[in-house]
Amino acid sequence: MKKSFLVIWVLVIGFAYFSNAQTALDGAYVPEHNPTRRVIPYPHLRQADVMWKRRIWERIDLKQKMNFSLYYPTIPIKGRYCLFDLIKQGILDGQITAYNTTNAMGQNDDEFTNPLTAEQIQEVYYPKVPEDSLDENGEKVGLKYVTNELKSDKVLMYELKEDWIFDKQRSERYVRIIGIAPVVEKKLESGVKITQTIFWLYFPECRYLFANADVFNLHNNSQPITFDDLFQKRMFNAYVVKEENVYDRRISEYFVDPLKQILESERIKEELFLFEHDLWHY
């Protein structure tokens, strides 16, 4: 009788142990709500209602603290991705289209006219990069090209193509993001480092993908926000690199000094702010 009771007790304890091991919960509650989110459509805009428009190109520097939500995590964790890994998955799954940054004439092209082929996408994600070629004594004798995978931690910036619009029908000034492009740092054979956009994405096409991926919320983890929320609510910091002009020049083309480039960027942003402010009288 005692032996039977002991065996039953051991079985009960073992069953309880394995049950607890199988139901280990990484958190205080079971997340039950994971709906497929719909994209909130833009309000209808007529050309006749656009009283004023300015096209702007901005860059988001991922080294700035406010933009960390776009850069981290560099390795996916618990279903959360950085923006570049999300974009990569969307391109490989065929949900979004990547466009070439140059046209057939070799000129810069951000008008979404030349989609990348599968071979070109492969070259983007596995580029050939120059490395120093060393002899048996460890001295540099030239350069060699090796194939490396382009990982998310190599994407240091994003460039946005935007239309700043004043809608007289709603008496509202708002920003429509037209395109987004990842920017990497490239080392030339001369050793000089430059920044380079690797492809363009048509932002309205990306909105469904962005609306169904969560971003880390610095203020309240129980209320996650999506990448689409982040962009629509302008929850990032960026600086102007170009405004639409008769010469089609970037700021860096007529101001070489980095300090003057920053001041010109701030001047353009101040001008955009004052335009809306001066429409109203207080």
pLDDT of residue 136: 74
pLDDT tens, position by position, 21-44: 456 766 666 666 666 788 989 989
Q: Are 223 and 166 in contact (CB under 8 A)?
A: no
Over residues 232-247, the mean pLDDT reads 94
pLDDT at position 55 over 50:
yes
Residues 161-170 pLDDT 10s? 999 999 988 8
Examine the pLDDT at 188 and tell me if it is beyond 80. Answer: no
User: Could you tell me if 183 and 198 are in contact, meaning their C-beta atoms sit under 8 angstroms apart?
Assistant: yes
Asked if residue 203 has pLDDT above 50, the reply is: yes
Average pLDDT score over residue span 6-28 = 56
**Range with the poorest average pLDDT among 15-29, 42-56, 164-178:** 15-29
Q: What is the mean pLDDT of residues 71-100?
A: 90
Distance CA 240, CA 59 (A): 6
User: What's the rounded Cα separation, in Å, for the pair 83 and 215?
Assistant: 9
pLDDT at 96: 95
What's the pTM value of the predicted model, to 2 decimals? 0.82
Identify which has the larger pLDDT, 138 or 95.
95
pLDDT band at 246 (very low <50, low <70, confident <90, very high): very high
Q: Any idea which of 49-53, 160-164, 192-196 has the lowest mean pLDDT?
A: 192-196
Least confident of 116-120, 143-147, 221-225, 251-255: 143-147
Asked if 270 and 56 touch (Cβ cutoff 8 Å), the reply is no
Q: Is residue 88 pLDDT above 90, yes or no? A: yes
pLDDT reported for residue 35: 67
Mean pLDDT for the stretch of residues 230-249:
94
SS3 for the chain is CHHHHHHHHHHHHHHHHHHHHHCCCCCCCCCCCCCCCCCCCCCCCCHHHEEEEEEEEEEEECCCHHHHHHHCCCCCECCECCHHHHHHHHHHCCCCCEECCECCCCCECCCCCCECCHHHHHHHHCCEEEEEEECCCCCEEEEEEEECCCCHHHEEEEEEEEEEEEECCCCEEEEEEEEEEEEEEEECCCCCEEEEECCEEEHHHHHHHHHCCEECCCCCCCCCEEHHHHHHCCCCCCEEEEECCCCCCCHHHHCCCHHHHHHHHHHHHHHHHHHHHCCCCC
Q: Give yes or no for residue 65 having a pLDDT over 70.
A: yes
The pLDDT value given to residue 18: 47
What confidence score (pLDDT) does residue 31 get?
62
**Per-domain residue ranges for the chain?**
46-126+154-276
pLDDT at 29: 62
Examine the pLDDT at 9 and tell me if it is beyond 60.
Answer: no
Q: Which residue has the higher pLDDT, 282 or 235?
A: 235
The pLDDT-based confidence of 104 (bands split at 50, 70, 90) is: confident
**Which of 13-17, 82-86, 129-133 has the weakest average pLDDT?**
13-17
Residue 224 has pLDDT above 70, yes or no: yes
Q: How far apart are CA 116 and CA 114, in angstroms?
A: 6
Question: From CA 239, how far away is CA 57, in angstroms rounded?
Answer: 9
Point out the least confidently predicted range of 42-51, 61-70, 112-121, 182-191.
182-191
